[in-house]
Structure formats: C-alpha cells, structure tokens
Homo-oligomer: A and B are copies of this chain.
Amino acid sequence: MPDTETKATEVTFEDIRGAAERIRPIAQRTPVMTSHSFNAESGAEAFFKCENLQKGGAFKIRGASNFLLSMPKDDLVRGVVAYSSGNHAQAVAIAAQTLGVPATLAMPEDAPRSKVDATRARGARIVTYNRFTEDRVAIGKRVAAETNATIVPPFDHPWTIAGAGTTGLELLEQVPDLDALVVPVGGGGLLSGSSIAAKHLRPEIRIFGVEPADGNDTYLSFAAGKRVEIPAPQTIADGLRSQMPGKLTFPILRRNVEQIVLVSEDEIRATVRFLLLRMKILVEPSGAVSAAALLFKKLPPSLRRVGVVLSGGNVDYEQLARF
C-alpha cells in the first residue's frame, strides 16, 4: 500500500490555486446565491456558496478529485479505497469513475439503500461491514493492502485540504469584499482549506466555524487549546459526527479561525426548513449549520457581508419526510 502520510503537511495558498486548476475538469464552479428574506431575518447580507449544487451533491468532490489527481500515476492505476457511508465515498466513486480507475468503498451493512445504490451506479466495488462489531479503518486498510490500492483520507491530508479549500478560493473570487466567512466543521478539512485561501486573498476577513452542539469536538478543542476526543455524536448533521479535529487541520484552524460557534438540533432543523421553503434550495443538516449560526444570531452582530458555505445537499427521501 503506497504511503501518502509522509507528504508535506503544510498547505499553502499556491497548493489551493494548483488544486483549483487540477480539479476544473471534474468539480463544478458552484453559484453564489443571495436572499432578501434570509437577510431580513438575519440582519446581515449573506452570500451563499452553494456546494449543495456541486457534483455528487457536496463539496467532497473537490478534495477527492484533487487527491486522485495528485497521486503518482503508478499508484493511481492500482485504484483507491474509501471508508464512509456518506458524501466522501460518493465523491471518491465519482472521481475514480471519471479518471477510469477502480474504487472500493467500505460501507456499513445498514447504510441507506439509496446511498449504496448511488455509489454502485458510479461503478465502485462495495465491501460491507458491520459497524457495531467491525472497525472500518481496519477494513479499509485490509482492502487497500489486498489490492495494493491507496486509501483516500476524508479530510486530514494536505491534498484533501487543498482541494476542499478551493471552495473558499472560489467564493472570494466571486465576492471579494466579504467581512466574514462561515463554514461547517466536521473534521475541519473544508474550514481549514477555505480559511487559508480566504486569509491570503483578504487578510482582514473574520473566519468562523460552526458545529452542532451535539458534535462539539472542535469547540472543546479550541477551549482546551489541544485536540479533544468526544463520544460518538448523534446529531442529525450526520456529516459532522467527527469525534476529534484532524492532526493537520487543527493547527490551521487555531491560526485562522476566530471562534467556533454551536447550533442546536432545533436550530438546524428550522434552518433546513427556511432554506427549503423560503429560498427553495435543499441543503442537508450538516450543510446548513453555517446558515443556522447567522439566522439564530450566534455570530458577532457587527458583521455585514458574510460568506456562508452550504456544504452539501444530500438528504434521502425518508430523512426529508421526517422534517
């Protein structure tokens, strides 16, 4: 199994600029939306970066495709592996299919059928595991070893961070004069990468991360001044159930991010409904926490022009029906 852990651990603005060039044939340049009714409710002027409209329905294609396109060709042809039931797995499947390389995904036996089918439709091989009795990291490593394939890390790798950071790069190109940038935080790949791009292009920009209160590993880590691990969160924001910030992402967050703010489950639900019924766009709970922070006034009231990353829109039928 090729070892990609030993690559340079600093991510620079030039890495993000390079990633933007690299992923152009795969990822889309997503639109920025504005809404009078959101502004009237929140008291700020919000610019929504619509990664829910991204290929695969989430920003994850940016990191996955930059990773695959940065790999040595000899490694790439042997294929890639990811362990995830969510947007990252879907993104790896799309990137691998586009580049014509084999992908194997380890998914829990009880993953939603719609997600398994969507991933299989992308030509990926699926290995299922029991998430109560088996360790997905171990499964992923075993599959990778057997096939001599490379594991694509979901967030804590310089190539993934640089790819995710193209979200912030694009937004600052589209709306250069933002006062603040607000981004959901799971493992911290999207926020750390986007913060590097935003601070480079506009050093005075204020940057905020948003977590569900039930999933506050980065919030607690900021308070402790070091990475803190929490028990498995149950939040409906299923993409933000990380238990600890990344080794690489955390120092970047500490450098660039002013504050991590928390939103409640009810606030997340109300925001998904607002985005859907008033703004007519479907955003998944994980992708809506940034908008929730603004709508429920968790951020300093002095902010005027605020970039808000809506990081994904993948909601199943069943989940939507419960809303």
Name A's B-contacting residues (CB within 8 A).
31, 33, 36, 52-53, 55, 57, 273, 276-277, 279-283, 313, 315-317, 320-321
Contact = CB atoms under 8 A, between A and B. Distances in A.
A277 B55 contact: no
A276 B284 CA distance: 12
Given A36-B55, A321-B321, A280 B282 contact: yes
Nearest to A34: B28
Given A273-B317, A277-B315, 13 more contacts: A33-B53, A52-B280, A53-B279, A57-B280, A276-B282, A277-B316, A277-B317, A277-B320, A280-B282, A280-B283, A280-B313, A281-B281, A281-B282
How many of these chains are in the complex? 2
A120 to B, nearest CB: 16
A279 B280 CA distance: 11
Which of A55, A277, A283, A321: most chain B Cβ within 10 A? A277
A282 B31 CA distance: 16
Contacts of A52: 280
Nearest to A284: B280
Contacts of A320: 276-277
Contacts of A31: 31
A320 B276 CA distance: 10
A279 B50 CA distance: 12
A282 to B, nearest CB: 4
Nearest to A316: B277
Contacts of A283: 280
Contacts of A276: 282, 320
Nearest to A315: B277
23 contacts: A31-B31, A33-B53, A36-B55, A52-B280, A53-B279, A53-B280, A57-B280, A273-B317, A276-B282, A276-B320, A277-B282, A277-B315, A277-B316, A277-B317, A277-B320, A280-B281, A280-B282, A280-B283, A280-B313, A281-B281, A281-B282, A282-B282, A321-B321
A269 to B, nearest CB: 12
Q: Across chains A and B, which 3 residue pairs bring their CB atoms closest together, nearest first?
A: A280-B313, A280-B282, A52-B280
A226 to B, nearest CB: 38
A55 B40 CA distance: 13
A318 to B, nearest CB: 11
A270 to B, nearest CB: 12
A95 to B, nearest CB: 14
